[in-house]
Amino acid sequence: MFHVKHLIIMNRFGLYIHVPFCRTKCTYCGFYRVTDLSYREKYIDSVVKELGERAELFKNKRLKSIYFGGGTPSVLHSSELKRIIGEVEKYWIVDEVEEFTVEVNPDDVTEDYLRELKEIGVNRISMGVQCLDDKILKLINRRHSVDMVYKAVDMVKSQFDNVSLDYIFGLPQQTVDTVSRDVSELLKMGVQHLSIYALSVEENSILEKQIEKGIVALPDEEVVLGQYDVITKKLREKGWRHYEISNYACDDEHLAVHNSSYWVKVPYLGIGPAASSFDGERKRWTNCEDVKKYIEGENDVEYDDLEEEDLINERIMLGLRTDRGVSISKFDVDIQRKIKENIYLVLEGGVYKIPEKSWMVYNRIVSSLFV
């Protein structure tokens, strides 16, 4: 089960701020991002403005977590981040925040920058490593080298004791052996959390076009499954907890507070272009995926009121993507039967779960259970 600090507390919420800027575009990325940094100043003005407009919706809730994601939040100067946090402090008590994360790239990390982040209240760093092979890093258009990763990790660890690294497997040219070597190196780095993602080919990504043109080829499915097996084995041997499909923590104290809130339906407020929000019950809304429209005040927000079927499907989907699983007691007889009869699910501690070996076919499993 989740550690007590991750239980739903409905008067708490998470704040996500999307920073859409990147200096270059990684070939695999499907997130909304732009490389034109000239919008930066007006973007921050708009974020401050949106915070003021949205604050009323969450005025009676306490701030649980803050997460600057992207894009590449570390392209922003610490003074720019400080200005945004200054606005947040007008509406909520930032000192009560359990976790304040900023995503950084290795090539942006300096000791001064990290110190400045700490001064504005950041207590967790999430860094995009992606892989530990210079040839592959170049192939996927990452700006950093493997050497930069090691130096950046050392700098981050010298100032933060809660550090997460992102890694991707299933990339072109990766083998089971190279992934095994990389994971061994990640474990030696002494961080507290790893987010390890299976590559997915996103629609309209550069990678999708490269594959279509035959410029790059992905590893066979058998190889990718072998990579997953070696990842889970190595982390399990070191006592790490695989608490969500793509997330591993060295102990229960270092489960990601902000991201875990998504999986247990804690309300969250998303600020910035393409950011999504959830009121904790039935209402979701998403900002427009266009930084130019966003800063010009033409934020065409997409609203969604969840129907009963949506809520049921979400309960299945969110529960089964974590090691806490789902209890069938709140489902009707037909859904209970489907869950009991599913050949992939196991009954453990009174709840149904997807065993670790089958998380790679998660989508297939949950879609078969939807109403």
Asked if 68 and 270 touch (Cβ cutoff 8 Å), the reply is no
- Torsion angle, CA of 359/360/363/364, rounded to 10 degrees? -100
Average pLDDT over residues 294-301: 95
Residue 8 pLDDT greater than 50, yes or no: no
- In this model, does residue 270 exceed pLDDT 90? yes
The yes-or-no verdict on residue 325 having pLDDT over 50 is yes
Q: Which amino acid is at 164?
A: S
What does the pLDDT read at residue 30?
Answer: 74
Q: Which amino acid is at 216?
A: V
**What's the pLDDT band for 27 if we cut at 50, 70, 90?**
confident
Contact predicate 168/224, CB 8 Å:
no
The C-alpha atoms of residue 158 and residue 154 are separated, in whole angstroms, by 6
**Confidence at 10, pLDDT banded by 50, 70, 90:** low
pLDDT at 2: 38
pLDDT digits (tens, 9 = 90+) for 51-109: 999 999 999 999 999 999 999 999 999 999 999 999 999 999 999 999 999 999 999 99
Looking at the chain, the whole-number percentage of residues with pLDDT higher than 70 is 97
Q: Are 310 and 318 in contact (CB under 8 A)?
A: no
- The answer for residues whose C-beta is within 8 angstroms of residue 104's C-beta and 6 or more apart is 72, 73, 74, 125, 126, 127, 128, 152, 156
Residue 350 φ/ψ region, left for φ over 0, alpha for ψ in the -120 to 50 degree band, beta for the rest: left
296, exposed or middle or buried, with CB in 10 Å at 0-12, 13-18, 19+?
exposed
- pLDDT of residue 220 exceeding 80, the answer is yes
The pLDDT of 296-316, averaged and rounded, is 95
